[in-house]
Structure 1
Amino acid sequence: MNASEHYRALHRIAEEGFCEFETKKYILGAIENMGCAIYEVGKTGVLAYFDFGKSTTSAFRAEMDALPITEKTGLPFASENVGCMHACGHDAHMAMLLSLAERLSKGCDVLCNVLLIFQPAEEKRGGAETVVSSPDFLRIAPERIFAIHLRPQLEKGKLFSGIGAIYAGSSEIVATFCGEQAHITENIKNDALENAARFYIGTKYQAKEEGLLIRFGRLCAGTAGNVTPCLAELCGTMRYFSEPEKISETEILLRKAKKYGGEVHIFEYAPPARNSGELFELSGCSRLSEPILCADDFSVYGRVCPHPLYMLLGTGDTPPLHSDEFAFDESILRFGEEKLFYIVRNEKISKVI
């Protein structure tokens, strides 16, 4: 099967993080006769290790999970799981790795051992940690790790990357406010919803030139329109490139919440994705004009793997990621597949340790 066929099959069986059971079954079926060692990670993750007897190993990561979105693409191979959709390109990422696996299984001339990582739950906290803490990953201990992610609005079919942090770090923000529950006509002194709204208005913040974003996407409060709520909760995200800046903004959030009688809890999703300069120079990718405030837990691998490289494959003028209409021209998959194959056959890359 080629990358497009894998992509369409995986798109149909979209599943949320840590529940990718059909996706795992599909991957295992695709690689079972390819001559690689297969290891299961957690409940749904899969590692495929091609040991060619080389002195170093390159790893390649693809995410398995989809999003809780009802698809509106109208594609003939649209998701068959209502309310769940591959709207972030993870199906394409897996398809490219499966195509690489097929090439590797045919005994092509590669210059390193190859570890393919099919990672669960990139959209949730804990997916990458499941892999990097697994005994099999730690035993194989790849010196280099790569990932390709689709990216709308970048030139179609072209691969981009950069040196240092190209994707932001991300922390989840949960702000809670308590108040008095009463009939809406009562003159209460502590209104949880009003306090949450005041906090929200004074906190929504983006400074692109500083590489910082604080924004909320969900507000939950109350049970009825004529009852003041006893609890209001705001959920959002902080994106950053600087750890000191993250700490400073966290302290500001805590003070603002306290001002309105609330509390803030910060949960780290992933640090900034920092690329190896040496790998970027050897990769043949075009340089990104500026870092992007999106986040990806690929950055977690950088804690245990000395040389990471995160690459973006342009889809051109398509709907944005996480859109219920996200779709792209499948012909771009061959550019990603060829880049992966180039990496495993590049002598200089195989010597980066």
Structure 2
Amino acid sequence: MSSSLSSQLTARSEQIHAAIALANPQFVALRHELHQHPELAFAEFRTAGKVADLLREWGYQVSTGIAGTGVVGTLRRGTGGKSLGLRADMDALPIQEATGLPYASQNAGVMHACGHDGHTAILLAAARFLALEGQFDGTLQLIFQPAEETGSGARRMIEEGLFERFPCDAVFGLHNWPGVSCGHIGCIEGPAMASVDQAHITVHGKGGHGAEPHTTVDPVLVSAHVITALQSIVARNVDPLDMGVLTVGSIHGGHASNVIPDSVELKLTARTFRPEVRSLLQQRVPALVQAQAASFGAVAEVDYRLGFPPVCNHARETAFASAVAHATLGSQRVAADFRPRTASEDFAFMLQARPGSFLFFGNGDTASLHSPRYDFNDEILPVAAAYWAGLAEHYLPVLSAPGYAPALAAPHDRDAQHA
């Protein structure tokens, strides 16, 4: 990269960061307000209303009611031809908050334990900057999605014509991540987060007195063997170079110590990165469970439910996102060794429908996601908002500002070209 081109990028990046930092107190306050009033999946009425009002105030064309409570803000500049989608999720979790913060949840049993309040505030901060000071030529589609936690919001928005009504040449999303240095970004090509599926298993035996087990078919004993045998699926069926996780997180059966129950219920989750492994687990889990139960004279019912697929980032868009991070945040904030996460995200459906990438911003040394003690780190809010603004300007460059074009190539490609 030439020194004049680099200085143009640096100067614009500094302008973006300065403008967003100036308005940051407004969005920290907004984030705290959203945190105080969390709403569960498809019930984000207050949040969606707040988002829609702010977008209208800044000049966006606002569409509401998509997938019930989803909001899309559209902003066109110049030719309006090329289009970019940026997505934030809005829903909270059915968790009782235990942070003791002055802005803790006021809704009993509901809290923003995953940082969706922060994601919404980040995209709104970027939205304001892009509306008032953005330099771009094209169409912005800002997608505020409901019901990520249930894995149904993205799919429903797509089924209701999201990308037909609001065309996007590419779509990007982000998630904060505890345990990663505050404000550092992770970009992963290919599988970035795992698929998630669930199985509900009922083992039917024959109950009886605990003193006479020989007259029963003990479903508790059968379930214990089933749980142990399930671990052989990954250990002896999945290539060691691939990833698969089977976790039995719930087992219920019986009420008394001296009574063998008629049945036991188990619930498990299955996670993979590759479709082939996902299909393998879908076949092997029911087959093994039923065979194991039959070997004891019991019967097992298996209800295997597909959730959502792995988040698979597209190569070109991920290289672009990484290049923008180097140009706008500085290479010191780009986590070179960031690895895929085995948690799941329904942004996967959007990446099946459109090219794009899902990114990760370090939340620092905080409680883990879905913990009652978790809180979004406000320090990353202006950093991530500036990144969204920079990405939008790089993806939708103004013809009179050619300095943005080189960010379309990956950093190492640019370095090779200008060495």
TM-score, with structure 2 as normaliser: 0.78
Aligned counterpart for 2:357 among listed residues 283, 292, 309: 309
Query: In structure 2, what is the Cα distance between the partners aligned to 1:350 and 1:119?
Result: 28
* CA–CA distance in structure 1, aligned partners of residues 73 and 407 of structure 2: 19
Q: 2:85 aligns with which of 48, 59, 62?
A: 59
Deviates more, 1:13-22 or 1:202-211: 202-211
Match of 2:124 in 1: 98
Aligned AA for 2:287? R
Q: Which residue of 1 aligns with 2:226?
A: 199
Note the 1:172-187 alignment, pairs <5 A. 172-187=198-213
- 1:29 pairs with 2:78: no
Higher helix share: 2
Counting only pairs closer than 5 Å after superposition, residues 1-353 of structure 1 correspond to structure 2 as 2-39=26-63, 40-52=65-77, 53-106=79-132, 108-187=134-213, 188-204=215-231, 210-222=242-254, 227-258=259-290, 259-260=292-293, 261-283=299-321, 284=323, 285=325, 286=334, 287-305=336-354, 307-346=355-394, 347=397, 348=405
Shift of residue 349, structure 1, vs aligned partner: 9.0
Q: Which runs of 5+ in 1 are unaligned?
A: none
- Higher gyration radius (CA): 2
1:32 alignment partner, SS class: helix
Q: Which amino acid aligns with 1:71?
A: E
| Contact 1:41–1:134, Cα closer than 8 Å, also in 2 | yes
AA at the equivalent of 2:179:
Q
Go from structure 1 to structure 2 and tell me whether the alpha carbon gap of 1:350 and 1:47 turns closer, same or farther (over 3 Å shift).
farther
Deviation at 1:225, TM superposition (A): 5.4
Following superposition, the deviation at residue 317 of structure 1 comes to 1.4
Cα distance 1:245–1:111, how it changes in 2: closer, same or farther (>3 A)? same
Of 197-206 and 120-129, the range deviating more from structure 2: 197-206
How many matched pairs? 351
Whether the 8 Å contact between 2:320 and 2:408 is mirrored in structure 1 is: no
Distance in 2 between residues matched to 1:220 and 1:123, nearest whole Å: 24
Q: Tell me, what secondary structure is at the counterpart of 2:230?
A: coil
TM-superposed deviation, 1:322: 0.8
CA distance in 1, matches of 2:270, 2:116: 23
Q: Any stretches of 5+ residues in structure 2 without a counterpart?
A: 1-24, 294-298, 326-333, 398-404, 410-419
Q: Which moved more, 1:216-225 or 1:64-73?
A: 216-225
Counterparts in 2 of 1:266 and 1:156: CA distance versus 1, 3 Å: same
Q: Percent sequence identity over matched residues?
A: 27
Normalised by the length of structure 1, the TM-score is 0.91
**Cα distance, 1:219 vs structure 2:** 2.0
- Which structure is higher in strand share? 1
CA RMSD of aligned residues (A): 2.3
Write out per-residue CA displacement over residues 29-59 of structure 1, whole angstroms, 9 at most, x where no aligned residue: 3223222222221222111111334211111
> Counterpart of 1:49 in 2: which secondary structure?
strand
Distance in 1 separating the partners of 2:167 and 2:406: 16
Decide whether the 8 Å contact of 1:150 with 1:313 is kept in 2: yes
* TM-superposition CA deviations, 1:10-36 (whole Å, max 9, x none): 111112212222222222232232222
Comparing 66-75 and 195-204, the one that deviates more: 195-204
Contact 1:212 1:239 in 2 (8 A): yes
Retained in 2: the 8 A contact 1:6–1:98?
Answer: no
